[in-house]
Structure 1
Amino acid sequence: MNRSMLRLTIPATALLAYGPAGAQDIDPDILRAQAGSYLVAPEGGGAGCRLTLETDLAIGGYSLSGQDSCSKSLPALAEAASWNFSGNGGLILINPTRKIVARFVENEGSPMKTEGETPLLLVSAPDGVDRLPTFSSLAGKWVMQRPDGEKLCSVTLEGTANTDGIAPLSISGDCAANVARLKLAIWHIDGFSLTLMSHDGASLDFHMRADGNFDKSREEGGKPLSLVRRDAR
């Protein structure tokens, strides 16, 4: 499963009202699956901050660390002192007075995010990355290649997406046959995942590395493949 998504599908009936008593009743496997380090960042590509969801009990739920890193980029989150499940498959951040400072809603097939005009995403991210990629930041020329440097295809990503979150792409005329036959024509981003697609349903899914390039998802199978930026930024 993509690590940018909720790590387990959690039935709402398994998530009790938040608070110390409810926290003690959460299945330990569910708790451990959700715990870990996450980037919280605006969907539009602005700077975010990293939080670590821990498993120790705290006021209103479970302990949290890293919130001080949010003081400049997302100051409202710097007040968070704990986290808990929201009871509907989502997740909440809570201050010391048990006030909810952020509510992340489950978004099937995508990272959890807050609602409103400027949503924040809660997503596992490569080390050193402080913001989400956007269509405009990824637009440009890329090379699809093997780990040894063997070039399979040049890809140009256009930076303007339609209302469905899809943007056009073009490939060079010298692509390897196994890539050319996919007839890749459009692309989409979801958290730190980038998908190249055809209009007929073929696709290649990539995950972002710390250096800003992408590696093909292991779930795709087959030989390793990378998407490496060609134009300087």
Structure 2
Amino acid sequence: MIRFVFRLAATAAALLACGLAYGQDIDPDILKAQAGTYLVAPEDGRTGCRMTLETDMAIGGYSISGQDACAKPLPALAEASSWNFDGNGGLILIDPTRKVIARFVENEGSPMKTEDGKLFLLSAAPDGVDHLPTVNSLAGPWTMQRPDGERLCGVTLGSNVGTDGNAPLSLSGDCAANVAKLKLAVWHIEGFGLTLMGGDGSSLSFDMRADGNFDKSKQEGGKPLSLVRR
């Protein structure tokens, strides 16, 4: 069995923690919160596959589509015919005989990742993306700029990851004052999110686009900002 770490939507996690048991009717709002298309891909950047968790009833739970795309990259998942909540804050994938072939375990605050064997992540992904970005694939020079092309700073991402999971970065000497004052020194990637961090707790978070560049996360607020590969 492949076991995955999976972060549930907040509403689903809260209600499941109250004791929803496998096989019971699930509130439609929980289904809607969890349903959607996800990329399951190896952590090392190799090709993965997409599948869509749907809300229609199926044998053992709720329907899945797109799993045939897993036949080559992740064949163990191609047999999935339905999904369900397991009653313990997690999700399961089920084959036509009702056998559980994958278990996604909630682990708040951690990446959505397999617990045993080869490491895989499961994440909502930009359209057209079939693999996860890695430290090595992102290392190198980038430009921090506004959507209109106004350059704010040059950023070079290093590839030597420390024991804390962060890698070093360096800034060009001509950064705009509002960027320079953040004293950004390290970076970290989790799924499709990239965070630049300073020693005093300052940070900037970005989300990957389909073209491989990054836009500042909406949660950050403020003016739009992008990281574009040079």
- Equivalent residues of 1:18, 1:60 under 8 A apart: no
In the superposition, the TM-score normalised over structure 1's length comes to: 0.91
Shift of 1:92: 1.2
Unaligned ranges ≥5, structure 1: none
Shift of 1:26: 1.0
* Equivalent-residue separation in structure 1 for 2:39 and 2:19 (angstroms): 23
| Alignment partner, residue 212 of structure 1 | 212
| 1:8 matches 2:10 | yes
After superposition, the C-alpha distances for 1:8-53 in whole angstroms (9 at most, x for unaligned) are 341334563334xx2xx21110111100111011122111000000
TM-aligned CA distance change 1:14 to 1:30, over 3 Å:
farther
After superposition, the C-alpha distances for 1:113-169 in whole angstroms (9 at most, x for unaligned) are 321132221100000100111100100000000000000000000112123211000
After superposition, the C-alpha distances for 1:173-195 in whole angstroms (9 at most, x for unaligned) are 10000000000000001100000
Moved over 4 A (4+): none
Tell me the amino acid that sits aligned with residue 212 of structure 2.
Answer: G
* Equivalent-residue separation in structure 1 for 2:7 and 2:147 (angstroms): 27
Greater RCO (Cα-Cα under 8 Å, separation 6 or more): 2
* Equivalent-residue separation in structure 1 for 2:200 and 2:153 (angstroms): 20
Report the identity percentage: 74
Write out aligned runs for 1:1-233 (5 A): 6-9=8-11, 10-11=13-14, 12-14=16-18, 16-19=20-23, 22=24, 25-230=25-230
Tell me the amino acid that sits aligned with residue 121 of structure 1.
Answer: L
Tell me the amino acid that sits aligned with residue 33 of structure 1.
Answer: A
TM-aligned CA distance change 1:35 to 1:86, over 3 Å:
same
TM-aligned CA distance change 1:26 to 1:111, over 3 Å:
farther
* Equivalent-residue separation in structure 2 for 1:97 and 1:226 (angstroms): 47
Unaligned ranges ≥5, structure 2: 1-5
Q: Which secondary structure state, in structure 1, belongs to the residue aligned with residue 194 of structure 2?
A: strand
Question: How many residue pairs align between the two structures?
Answer: 223
TM-aligned CA distance change 1:164 to 1:128, over 3 Å:
same
After superposition, the C-alpha distances for 1:203-232 in whole angstroms (9 at most, x for unaligned) are 0000000000000011111100000001xx
* Equivalent-residue separation in structure 2 for 1:113 and 1:56 (angstroms): 26
In the superposition, the TM-score normalised over structure 2's length comes to: 0.92
TM-aligned CA distance change 1:202 to 1:41, over 3 Å:
same
- Equivalent residues of 2:194, 2:206 under 8 A apart: yes
